[in-house]
Amino acid sequence: MKFDKNLFEARIFHGLKSLFEAGDTLPPRYLEHAICQALGMKHVGDGNFYADGVNGNIQASIKTRMLNPTVLKREHSGRDFLTHPDKFLGMQKNFKQGIYWAGLEFVQRRQEIPNESTSSPRRTGLLSLRGFRQNMTESYRKFGTDTSYEILCVHGYNWQRNRYAVSVFWQEYKTPATKDIVWGKDSNGIYGSKLIDGELQRIMYRVRDGSRREATCFKEYKNPTKYKYSVTIEVPIPDPWHFDQQQILAEINNLKEAQNGIIFFEE
């Protein structure tokens, strides 16, 4: 899949000019459409299927994450996902609890699992993966595809807040080999871990039914910097489109008059 970087950059800049307030970030759906256009894909991501974009035999799922920069006031400097990709995009760790995550968290889908409360972590995890694979297969049938790609998009302001950065990472999606997964359980759900770079890191999580937040969500933790393909852009922050109420109302009235003047004929 070829990525039209110029088209994407123009779309991002156009979207920034259309934001309602200064400091707002681009909405996920806008980014999905912009990515699909840059990759020559048709956007189909308004349903519950795996595919957000389709091109020929390829279907792609697009996941977006907005990341806030870290500003170090005392040092008059800061960090963002471009200056410190490993810190923002790589392995995450809770030092107090000694828990490692393989990368950023991305929600894949929601799924009900029968008898979840009495199931073992392994059964719940395997059923979550099976349900996700079935969703991909249903998407194949729906859109006539046979290959799945995953596209990860991270975006946000740089630490100086004078540029907007967007990085897109993609590669063919493969579900993890279940034989390599170590299953565990905590108060909110079950997790699957895998040995990566000598550390046991969580690669997926299933939020239990009945949780206060994100109940039944199946998540994966991913390090975008390890993906096969990527593109990054930075654009300066533009002035927003000028809002002139009188001019806009005049345009609305002109359109109303033009439409009222159209005569519709029925056969």
* C-alpha to C-alpha distance for 139 and 265, rounded to whole angstroms: 41
The closest of 225, 191, 223 to 92, measured between CA atoms, is: 223
- Give pLDDT, residue 111: 87
Q: What is the pLDDT of residue 264?
A: 52
DSSP 25-60: ---HHHHHHHHHHHTT-EE-TTSSSS-SEEETTEEE
E strand or H helix at 124, and its extent? helix 121-143
pLDDT, residue 17, reads: 96
Encode the chain (267 residues) as per-residue pLDDT tens digits: 899 999 999 999 999 999 999 899 999 999 999 999 999 999 998 888 999 999 999 999 999 999 999 998 777 789 999 999 999 999 999 988 889 999 999 999 888 888 888 889 999 999 999 999 999 999 999 999 999 999 999 999 999 999 999 999 999 998 888 898 999 999 899 999 999 989 999 999 999 887 878 899 999 999 999 999 999 999 999 999 988 999 999 999 999 988 887 655 555
Residues across the chain: 267
Prediction pTM value: 0.91
